[in-house]
Chains A and B, each alone.
Chain A
Amino acid sequence: MENRMPQVDSAVVAGAQQGDAEAQTRLYEVFAPMVYTIARRILASAVTAEDVLQETFIEVLQKAGSFRGESEIGFWIRRIAVNKCLQHLRSGWSSKRVDADLSAQKYPSVRGGQIEQQMVLENALAELSQTARAVVWLHDVEGYTHKEIGRMMGRTPSFSKSRLARAHERLRALLEDDFTEDGKIVCEPALKTY
């Protein structure tokens, strides 16, 4: 698993566990961007991502005392955040909200540099189904194994594998002709509405 995890001093963790307000604030400052990013990318909704951010840190504050330090606290926080995201995906209310949000969130069609390339990719990611998006993000970026993803989703590792493959086929179709030989996305996304 790739370790892109932000780090905090063990004193901050201990302080947060004892309810020290300054330490809790520091914990939020360090890990909130990670949690919010995961939620935005999985849920493709700014509103729901903010909900996940709040829910995650409420749980972190309330359960910090039960964190036993067997792994880095960042992994513990990330696991809470991912579980919250998956709870939202399972909720019908969430899917209604995601649909509404996505239409308002579309990036304009753009050409050129790295930021534009990333927007193209973000748009393509948002076009995937909720489950496919979650599997892609959890596996390809967060580094969860198919076994872990299957367990978190109440499915089998094969389910995660096949969803990942289909998601990449879909991404390929969405980004058709946008990748050059050196792996850059070069042209306007031919995003299709399905």
Chain B
Amino acid sequence: MRTCTEDLLTIRDGEPVDASVHSQVLTDPESSEELERLRTAQKALQELPELQPPSGVWTKILAEVQRDNRREPKLLRHWSLGSAIAAGVAVLALMLISTDPEMPMKIESGLVAVAPEGGGVLDAVPAEELGYALLVAESAQLERELNSIEYQPSLTNADIATIAVVLEDQIGYVDAQLTYASANRLDSRQTEILWRERVDLMNTLVDVRYAQFQQAGF
């Protein structure tokens, strides 16, 4: 009978193992072969190449750190369920009106970052790209915030779940436009409008998810 994988891994890793197990591996060719395969697999995993991160991430990190240093606590996150639904509906209504990237969004989110006044690390970012960089950083921060909320799909009510799904679809639609921004020859202003739209949608989605989370009693 072949030694079990757990015992073989224990031997492979040089950890103490029962003497009878050890002798079985030595006398059973199948177990020895499997032990060798486990060593080979580990070596192959260790030899996988290091991956290079995408460019531009460092700029986003610096922008985020600078923004965090300036940002006040997000009291808006403690919305009630009703407020979240109302905000979701309002944002969606405005989104439906404004689907043309040429049309500037009328929503002014109080959470959208502003350019730092005193300079600092963001001085390295060209002025025309600053708004864009901050919006991208804001969007990434909201993604992280969304990820930090426990997902409880079975505990949500239908109305708010529908709003969340529509918001996610809208974000997907904006993402698709951003993906093909170059192909569609959108200029920097149009791209920035799309990023602002994404940030607004993400902000609302985070609020909706927080409301769901609170409703679920967590």
Question: Which residues on the B side are within 8 Å of A168 (C-beta)?
Answer: 5, 9, 38, 41
A118 touches B48 (CB 8 A): yes
Q: Is A72 an interface residue (CB 8 A)?
A: no
Interface range for A: 35 or more
Q: Is A151 an interface residue (CB 8 A)?
A: no
B52 to chain A, nearest CB (A): 6
Q: Is B95 an interface residue (CB 8 A)?
A: no
Interface string of A1-32 (1 = CB under 8 A from B): 01010000000000000000100010010001
Cα separation A34 to B49 with both chains bound (whole Å): 10
Question: Which residues on the B side are within 8 Å of A140 (C-beta)?
Answer: 41-42, 45-46
Known: A37-B51, A92-B150, A140-B42. A55 touches B37 (CB 8 A): no
A165 touches B61 (CB 8 A): no
- Total B residues in contact with A, Cβ cutoff 8 Å: 42
Cα separation A171 to B38 with both chains bound (whole Å): 10
Question: Which residues on the B side are within 8 Å of A175 (C-beta)?
Answer: 41
A48 to chain B, nearest CB (A): 8
Question: Which residues on the A side are within 8 Å of B53 (C-beta)?
Answer: 32-33, 35-36, 50, 53
A17 to chain B, nearest CB (A): 14
Question: Which residues on the B side are within 8 Å of A99 (C-beta)?
Answer: none
Interface string of A56-97 (1 = CB under 8 A from B): 011001100000000000000000000000011001111010
- Interface majority SS on A: helix, strand, loop or mixed? helix
Q: Is B40 an interface residue (CB 8 A)?
A: yes
Cα separation A125 to B48 with both chains bound (whole Å): 11
Q: Is B114 an interface residue (CB 8 A)?
A: no
Q: Which residue from chain B places its CB closest to the CB of A21 in the assembled complex?
A: B121
Set A2, A51, A141: member contacting B140, Cβ < 8 A: A51
Question: Which residues on the A side are within 8 Å of B140 (C-beta)?
Answer: 51, 54
A80 to chain B, nearest CB (A): 13
Cα separation A51 to B65 with both chains bound (whole Å): 14
Question: Which residues on the B side are within 8 Å of A161 (C-beta)?
Answer: 6, 9-10
Q: Which residue from chain B places its CB closest to the CB of A171 in the assembled complex?
A: B41
Cα separation A158 to B200 with both chains bound (whole Å): 45
B144 touches A51 (CB 8 A): yes
Known: A87-B148, A92-B153. A121 touches B45 (CB 8 A): yes
Interface residues of B in 135-155 (CB under 8 A from A): 140, 143-144, 146-153
Q: Which residue from chain A places its CB closest to the CB of B64 in the assembled complex?
A: A58
Cα separation A34 to B57 with both chains bound (whole Å): 14
Question: Which residues on the A side are within 8 Å of B64 (C-beta)?
Answer: 54, 58
Set B9, B37, B44: member contacting A165, Cβ < 8 A: B9
Q: Which residue from chain B places its CB closest to the CB of A143 in the assembled complex?
A: B46
Known: A50-B53, A140-B45, A169-B5. A32 touches B148 (CB 8 A): no
Q: Which residue from chain B places its CB closest to the CB of A119 in the assembled complex?
A: B48
B202 to chain A, nearest CB (A): 12
Interface residues of A in 106-130 (CB under 8 A from B): 117-118, 121-122, 125
List 19 A-B pairs, Cβ < 8 Å: A33-B51, A33-B53, A35-B53, A51-B147, A54-B60, A54-B140, A54-B144, A88-B147, A91-B151, A94-B147, A118-B49, A141-B46, A141-B48, A161-B6, A168-B5, A168-B9, A168-B38, A171-B41, A179-B37
Q: A34-B50, A92-B152 are in contact. List 14 more A-B contacts (CB 8 A).
A: A2-B46, A4-B46, A32-B57, A33-B53, A40-B51, A58-B64, A91-B150, A121-B45, A122-B48, A161-B6, A165-B5, A166-B5, A179-B37, A185-B44
